[in-house]
Copies of this chain bind each other. A is one copy, B any other.
Amino acid sequence: METQQVVSYLDRHEADAIGRLMEWLRIPSVSTDPAYSADVRRAAEWGAQQLKAAGFDVEIMPTGTADEPGHPVILASTPGDPAYAGPHVLFYGHYDVQPAEPLELWDNPPYEPVIRPAEGEIGERIVARGACDDKGQVATFFEAMRAWKEISGKAAGGVKMTVLIEGEEESGSANLEKFVDEQKDRLGACDVCVISDTGMLGRGKPAITYGVRGLAYTEITLHGPNQDLHSGLWGGRAPNPVNELVKVLAQLWDQDRKITIPGFYDDVQPVTDEERRAWQRLGIDSVAALRSIGLGPDADVGEAGFNATEREWARPSCDINGIYGGYTGEGAKTVIASHATA
């Protein structure tokens, strides 16, 4: 089987692969700090080189505008085998890293990667800025592509693929949306997207993340009187926006902690029995997770009918991320606020 040949190839060349990753980790591609712009560019070129070596057509494309240029995107593709009938795969990753400060908390300089024993666990770890977010993951993809090319003689083993590796993930992907929009023709043709910028369940427990939660965020402000009022004079007489806002917000959930917004669950994929069983077998300790944030087992509450793992992985949630209204300083002030926001 070709796959076994590829795995075998990777095993044989592991030291080379680690050496290549080390090279990449030595480039301080900090996207948020303009002082590192040249390094960011260098990291993009390094990545582009790997994809070229694996047989891809590769471009390093600018983002942003002439006035406000962004960091470049590595955009690569391979048309796939003429006989290939599977999905057109989009691979996404990023080659930029977070700033390494405060430096005094590092045992080794962050851009001088070292291999260390994994404390309290088997095996070793590479310690460097970006090793696990996201250069390490992207490097495994590069190595897989290299191995498939070597074994099959075809880029991506004949799979039709597009690769997008950006350089601004750690600074908010400010230019990505516009870029994706401009490249709609190329990117929109993809059927699935593979991202390895997620997590593992633990050492020796690799994970396939096949869904992440999206986000719809809104801010509402409820206006009442045109000025703050004294609640001794107006309490019970003028509408209090804070009172009314909490009444409205409290209706977001029913007794079963189901979200009551009409249509909220319409497009939610149900959790299948197979998934439930598979997740159950992972033996995730939800009580330990709660303990890690200072809570006891009785804090394991949420949408009725789902356990903590199911709620986190497969169920949408509705959270108030912030609320404010009225007097929020020290001491007491008997005010009816003119507005309240959540």
Interface set of A (CB-CB < 8 Å, partner B): 212-213, 215, 217, 219, 224-227, 229, 231-240, 242-243, 245-247, 249-253, 286, 289-290, 293-295, 299, 301-303, 308, 311-312, 315-328, 332-337, 340-342
User: Which of A238, A239, A247, A290 gathers most chain B CB within 10 Å?
Assistant: A238
**Residues of the B chain whose Cβ atoms lie less than 8 Å from the Cβ of A341:** 328
Q: Are A238 and B290 in contact (CB under 8 A)?
A: yes
- Chain B residue with minimal CB distance to A307? B237
**Residues of the B chain whose Cβ atoms lie less than 8 Å from the Cβ of A250:** 246-247, 249-251
Q: Are B239 and A213 in contact (CB under 8 A)?
A: no
Q: Are A334 and B215 in contact (CB under 8 A)?
A: yes
Q: A243-B253, A295-B238 are in contact. Are A336 and B312 (CB under 8 A)?
A: no
> How many copies make up the complex?
2
Additional A-B contacts beyond A250-B250, A324-B324 (20; CB < 8 A): A212-B232, A226-B295, A229-B293, A236-B312, A236-B317, A238-B299, A240-B320, A242-B319, A242-B320, A243-B319, A246-B246, A246-B249, A246-B323, A246-B342, A319-B336, A322-B327, A322-B333, A322-B335, A323-B328, A324-B328
- In the A-B complex, the 6 residue pairs with the smallest Cβ-Cβ separation, listed nearest first, are A226-B294, A236-B317, A250-B250, A235-B317, A322-B326, A225-B293
Q: CA of A232 to CA of B295 in the docked complex: distance in angstroms?
A: 19
Q: CA of A206 to CA of B150 in the docked complex: distance in angstroms?
A: 99
**Residues of the B chain whose Cβ atoms lie less than 8 Å from the Cβ of A325:** 320, 322-324
- Chain B residue with minimal CB distance to A215? B334
Q: CA of A312 to CA of B238 in the docked complex: distance in angstroms?
A: 9
Q: CA of A299 to CA of B239 in the docked complex: distance in angstroms?
A: 6
Q: Are B320 and A243 in contact (CB under 8 A)?
A: yes
User: Which of A295, A318, A322 gathers most chain B CB within 10 Å?
Assistant: A322
**Residues of the B chain whose Cβ atoms lie less than 8 Å from the Cβ of A249:** 243, 246, 250
Q: CA of A341 to CA of B229 in the docked complex: distance in angstroms?
A: 21
Q: A293-B227, A295-B239 are in contact. Are A321 and B308 (CB under 8 A)?
A: no
Q: CA of A242 to CA of B323 in the docked complex: distance in angstroms?
A: 7
Can you spell out 27 A-B residue pairs with CB atoms less than 8 angstroms apart? A217-B334, A224-B299, A231-B317, A233-B312, A234-B293, A235-B319, A236-B302, A236-B312, A236-B316, A236-B317, A237-B302, A239-B295, A240-B320, A242-B322, A242-B342, A243-B249, A243-B253, A243-B319, A246-B246, A246-B250, A246-B342, A319-B334, A321-B327, A322-B337, A323-B323, A323-B324, A323-B325
